[in-house]
Structure formats: C-alpha cells, structure tokens
Amino acid sequence: MSLYTTPLQSAYLLAWVYALLLWSRGYREERLSDGLLGWVLFFLGQEIQDYTLGFAGINFLWEELNGFPRGIGLLLPPALYLYLRAQTNRHFKLSLKHLWYLVPWGSFFLIELFIFLRGPYAVQAFQASPFLEPYQIIATIIGWGVYGYFFWLAINWYRRYRSWTATEFSDPDSIRFTWFRNVVFFMLAGIVFKEAMNGVDFFLDLDFYQDWWWNLALVGIIYYVGIWGYAQPQPAHVYFEAAVPLPDEEVPQAASEPVPAAAIHPDTRRLTQYMERERPYLDPGLTLAGLAQRVGMPAPELSARINGDLGQNFNDFVNQYRVEAFQRKARQPDKQALTFLAIALDCGFNSKATFNRAFHKHTGMSPREWLTQAKAAE
C-alpha cells in the first residue's frame, strides 16, 4: 500500500461493491434508477482502472491487451442523465431511441476494436502513426460535447423537476435529489481539473506517478456517488414528465395577489372550507393528487384554483395552513414545554429545515422572533 495505491484501490473496490448492491436492489425492487446508478458507478470505477492496476504492478492492460478499446468515459454522461430520468419518474422505461446515446462511444469502440483485432503490429503502427494525435484531438472534442450536452440536459431536467415538486407535494425537500446536482457540479469541476492536468502534462511531460491527480479527484466522486446515491430516499409515487416549459420558454406565473373574495370560484371556497374543517395539511405526505381525491376535484383543476384564485403554488398553500396551526399551538399554555420542532412536526412539517424555511417565507421572521413579538403584544 502507498499514497498512490491505497485511495485508488479502495475506491475501485467501493465502486464495484456499490454497483453490485444497486444492481441487486434494482432487480429485487424493479427499480430502473438503481440499475442505472449501478452502471454509473461501474463506469466511474473503470475510469480509474488503468492507474489502479498500474500502481499495483498489474500490466496486462498494456501488454496482452494493448490497444483494446477499454475507454468508457463517453457512457458516463448518458448514464447519469438516464438515472435522473428514472429516479424522478417510476414509469420511465428505456427504449430503442436511447441507443442513440451510445453512438459516440460505439464509434470509437468499433474503430479501436478493428485495429486491435488486426494484431499487435497494427496497434503499434497506429500508435506510432501521424494520425494518432488528430484522432485523440477529435476524441477529446467529441468528449467535451457529449459531457456538455448530457449535463445540460440533466441540469435542465433537474430544474424543471424542482419546480414541479413545489406544485405537487406539500413537502418536496425529501425528493428534490439535491445530491444529484452536486454530482454534476463535482464532475464538471473534475473535468476542468483533468484538462488542466492534461495541459500541464503536455508542457512538462509528466510521468505515470505525476499525472494521476485527476484519478484522485475521481476517488472523491466515487465515494460520494456510491455512499450518498445508495442511501437516497426511494419515493414510490414520483412520476415526473417534462410537462413544464423549458427554461427559455415563457412560464405562466401565479397571480401576484389573491383574487377578491367576491370573485373566488365556488370550488376554491369548498377547498378552503375543507382545509379548515378536515385539516389534511397535518399529513406530512400530502400531495396535490391526494388532496384532489379528498376534495373530489380533478388535480389540474385543483392546481388552477390554488394558483389562480389564491396566488400560490401547492407547497406554499399547504404550508401556510401548517404555519398558522403552529402559531395557534405555540401560544397555548399546555404547549410551552414543547420545542418548536415538536410543535412543527405536530402541524404537518417533517423536518426542522422545511419548517424554518416555510415559517420565514410566510411571516418574514424566525419562529422565535415571531413568538417574542406575539407575547409582547398580548
């Protein structure tokens, strides 16, 4: 073991272990997203394979398999994007059209496989030919394009998904997959670092022991994706499709102010009366579809009533009732011994962060500031 081998070998092993765990869980629970995340980890592990085996003194990749097309970096971006699609929509299925995502990788694989199958002399001739450098430049440019395109797709999809959760769930924090956004940004930073190291290598001609730092960055990404990815909540009822407009399309905005009482639709009155009477907001898992079923109203119509007549999205609409319930309970004498969090959980919130954010949004102050003012006004 050494500074070079220990982090690489541990990450290589971790990538395999978590890939197998994810494939197994995905098969058992029929969850496509787990299977795809397993492939993401497998591809990340293969990215550090050359250095991992090289530092361990295992050289068959450069001897018996010299020239064999083992680079699979171009498969990583589409795998990440498809994982996001599957994780945000349990109905998502792979189809033949997704095979187009494999074309860039497949093209280079077939070219290099053809050369490899012609024998060692053909491989050595190609590696010594003047065509190698232009080939590598083209491969690098296409690689940048693939990473940029699929990361752009993933970030846009993620942004639309985040917007959608606020219209469908009363507590979207647990299903926002913030960690995925972090993965994309970490990988973009890693790619920039890799290209910087390639630039240094070009001018200084670094040896095998000096140009491995990009692999160390990948070690951190593998640990993050493996541990956090496997531990992510697996919601059973998330079915997002890109029904909301693209970022550059015009997005209808909710009314800035509520509609005057005289103009409120009868269904909106029925909704607010139901909220006050039955208090469905006390259910932390309340969704737009669930509330629509309780009220006896189609979900799109319910959303239109909340957005149009009340000037809110679904998340803010439900949390307003929860905040008001907290304000009532926090001033009750028999609740004085309870913490703010205990009262908030009793009012339908399911985390301290969600409660604090919602309370500040609806009141403009923290719960403690509000309670101090409320007691002073009594």
| For residue 140, pLDDT beyond 70 | yes
Structural domain including 359 reads 261-377
CA distance 370 to 324: 12
Considering the domain architecture, whether residues 226 and 366 belong to the same structural domain is answered as no
The b-or-e profile of 98-126 (16+ CB within 10 A means b, else e) is eeebeebbeebbeebeebbeeeeeebeeb
Considering the domain architecture, whether residues 112 and 198 belong to the same structural domain is answered as yes
Q: If you average pLDDT over residues 79-95, what whole number do you get?
A: 92
Domain assignment of residue 245, yes or no: no
Q: If you average pLDDT over residues 140-160, what whole number do you get?
A: 93
Domain assignment of residue 59, yes or no: yes
Considering the domain architecture, whether residues 366 and 294 belong to the same structural domain is answered as yes
Write the pLDDT tens digit of every residue in 21-40: 999 999 999 999 999 999 99
Q: If you average pLDDT over residues 215-220, what whole number do you get?
A: 88
Considering the domain architecture, whether residues 186 and 305 belong to the same structural domain is answered as no
The pLDDT, as a whole number, for residue 246 is: 38
Considering the domain architecture, whether residues 168 and 20 belong to the same structural domain is answered as yes
Lowest mean pLDDT among 156-160, 173-177, 250-254, 341-345: 250-254
Write the pLDDT tens digit of every residue in 165-198: 888 888 777 787 888 888 888 888 888 887 787 7
Write the pLDDT tens digit of every residue in 251-288: 344 444 555 655 678 888 899 999 999 999 999 889 89
**pTM for the whole structure:** 0.79
Q: What is the mean pLDDT of the chain?
A: 86
The pLDDT, as a whole number, for residue 261 is: 54
Q: Any idea what DSSP says for residue 169? A: B
The pLDDT, as a whole number, for residue 250 is: 38
| Angle, alpha carbons 97-102-108 (nearest 5°) | 150
Domain assignment of residue 237, yes or no: no
| For residue 248, pLDDT beyond 50 | no
Considering the domain architecture, whether residues 151 and 292 belong to the same structural domain is answered as no
CA distance 270 to 264: 10
Write the pLDDT tens digit of every residue in 319-337: 999 999 999 999 888 888 8
Phi and psi (nearest 5°) for 168? -120, -20
The pLDDT, as a whole number, for residue 209 is: 63
Q: If you average pLDDT over residues 157-161, what whole number do you get?
A: 91
Considering the domain architecture, whether residues 205 and 345 belong to the same structural domain is answered as no
The pLDDT, as a whole number, for residue 24 is: 97
Considering the domain architecture, whether residues 99 and 218 belong to the same structural domain is answered as yes
CB of 220 closer than 8 Å to CB of 48: no
The pLDDT, as a whole number, for residue 3 is: 65
Considering the domain architecture, whether residues 197 and 291 belong to the same structural domain is answered as no
CB of 104 closer than 8 Å to CB of 74: yes
Number of separate domains in the chain: 2
CATH code of residue 348? 1.10.10.60
Amino acid at 13: L
Segment 142-148 long-range contacts (CB within 8 Å, at least 24 positions apart): 142/74, 142/104, 143/73, 143/74, 143/104, 145/104, 146/74, 146/77, 146/78, 146/104, 147/77, 147/187, 147/188, 147/191
| For residue 243, pLDDT beyond 60 | no
Considering the domain architecture, whether residues 130 and 80 belong to the same structural domain is answered as yes
Write the pLDDT tens digit of every residue in 99-137: 999 999 999 999 999 999 999 999 999 989 999 999 989
CA distance 218 to 95: 30
Write the pLDDT tens digit of every residue in 3-21: 667 889 999 999 999 999 9
Considering the domain architecture, whether residues 118 and 198 belong to the same structural domain is answered as yes
Which position has the higher pLDDT, 169 or 223? Answer: 223
The pLDDT, as a whole number, for residue 317 is: 93
Write the pLDDT tens digit of every residue in 64-77: 788 889 889 999 99
Considering the domain architecture, whether residues 203 and 111 belong to the same structural domain is answered as yes
pLDDT band at residue 201 using 50, 70 and 90 as cut-offs: confident
The pLDDT, as a whole number, for residue 349 is: 92
Task: Specify which residues 307 forms β-bridges with.
Answer: none
* Percent share of the chain, pLDDT over 70: 90
